[in-house]
Amino acid sequence: MAILDRFRLSGRVAVVTGGAGPLLGSSITAALAEAGATVVTASRSLERNQQFAEALQARGHDAHAMQVDIASVRSIDQLHRQVLQRFGRIDVLVNNAVARSGHAGGFLDQTPDRLAAVAAGDFQGLFRICQRFIADMAQQRRGSIINIASIYGVVANDPTIYSGTGMVQPPSYNFVKAGMINFTRYLATYYGRHGVRANCISPGGYREDQPRAFVERYESRVPLGRMLGHDDIQGAVVFLASDASSYVTGLNLFVDGGWTCL
Ligand SMILES: NC(=O)c1ccc[n+]([C@@H]2O[C@H](COP(=O)([O-])OP(=O)(O)OC[C@H]3O[C@@H](n4cnc5c(N)ncnc54)[C@H](OP(=O)(O)O)[C@@H]3O)[C@@H](O)[C@H]2O)c1
């Protein structure tokens, strides 16, 4: 097959959690749709996902909206049933949603309630959604799981870039992202012989409305000299979702402008 054709996702069904999110989620879903996949974007707000799916449909893509709360096993099971009933298969699962509400406060402020939210979404929820969909992928003997981790699953935060900005970095985030990366390697080794590949993407910091002092410090440290932009993750997602990466599994692909080189 011609090399560019190996990146095409026509006939594949892809599910993205948090797939209508304004930062990485919508970029990931749009990339998969543009590469030809039938995409399902799912998060707690059905309305937001419907609006985004309609916007993709208006651009000629095959996009659908569903609801899921990754902190609820019942909700994940329901999403799984709906996807299988509607499409009869699953080829790509992108675990993009993160239990944001739990990741708040510094170490001494991480209350049991916040940690429970993290445990339900980023631990139990991640396990459950992978358990459900990997069984179908193994039966099909084809599938690609992409877990969206972070540079902070590999390296620690540099407190000096946050100093005086009011930005607080909770250690629970580092904890779950590091776990996600090695959990992904487990999936890769146990399911490779079933035709399922599992990889992570670890993005660097996305440029949004952070305080100027933080942005300046971040950008002066990162080798490519700028924070992550909206489209920067798209090539990595399509690569890992498609046959272009047919011999790639267990990888943690950094999309971080070189942050982790230092
Ligand atoms: N932004 C960054 O700088 C950055 C850097 C490195 C890694 N990452 C990683 O990239 C991923 C996306 O983060 P993002 O910041 O770019 O956000 P995003 O993709 O723009 O939005 C995330 C979406 O997740 C959904 N979500 C939150 N809790 C959920 C739950 N319990 N169940 C289902 N969906 C839920 C939210 O939608 P609803 O409110 O509708 O549920 C939200 O729109 C995360 O895994 C994050 O850790 C982000």
- Continuous H helices in 35-145: 46-58, 73-87, 112-118, 126-140
Residue nearest to atom 36 of ligand 1 (CA): 18
23 Cα nearest atom in ligand 1: 20
Structural domain contains residue 48 = yes
pLDDT score recorded for residue 19: 98
Ligand 1 contacts CB of residue 203 (under 6 A)? yes
Structural domain contains residue 234 = yes
Structural domain contains residue 208 = yes
pLDDT score recorded for residue 95: 98
pLDDT score recorded for residue 121: 97
CA of 96 to the centre of ligand 1 (A): 6
Give the count of domains, the chain. 1
Give the whole-angstrom CA distance, residue 232 versus residue 249.
Answer: 21
Structural domain contains residue 178 = yes
CA of 98 to the centre of ligand 1 (A): 5
CA of 64 to the centre of ligand 1 (A): 18
Give the whole-angstrom CA distance, residue 147 versus residue 141.
Answer: 19
Structural domain contains residue 262 = no
Ligand 1 contacts CB of residue 120 (under 6 A)? no
Parent domain of 211? 3-257
CATH (domain of 187): 3.40.50.720
Ligand 1 contacts CB of residue 96 (under 6 A)? yes
pLDDT score recorded for residue 87: 98
Give the Å distances, CA to CA, from 238 to 3, 27, 132, 246, 258.
Answer: 13, 11, 22, 12, 20
pLDDT score recorded for residue 206: 98
Query: Mean pLDDT of residues grouped by 10 in the chain (262 residues)?
Result: 97 98 98 99 98 98 98 98 98 98 94 95 98 98 98 97 96 98 98 98 98 98 98 98 98 98 96
Query: E strand or H helix at 34, and its extent?
Result: helix 24-34
Q: What is the pTM of this model?
A: 0.98
Structural domain contains residue 214 = yes
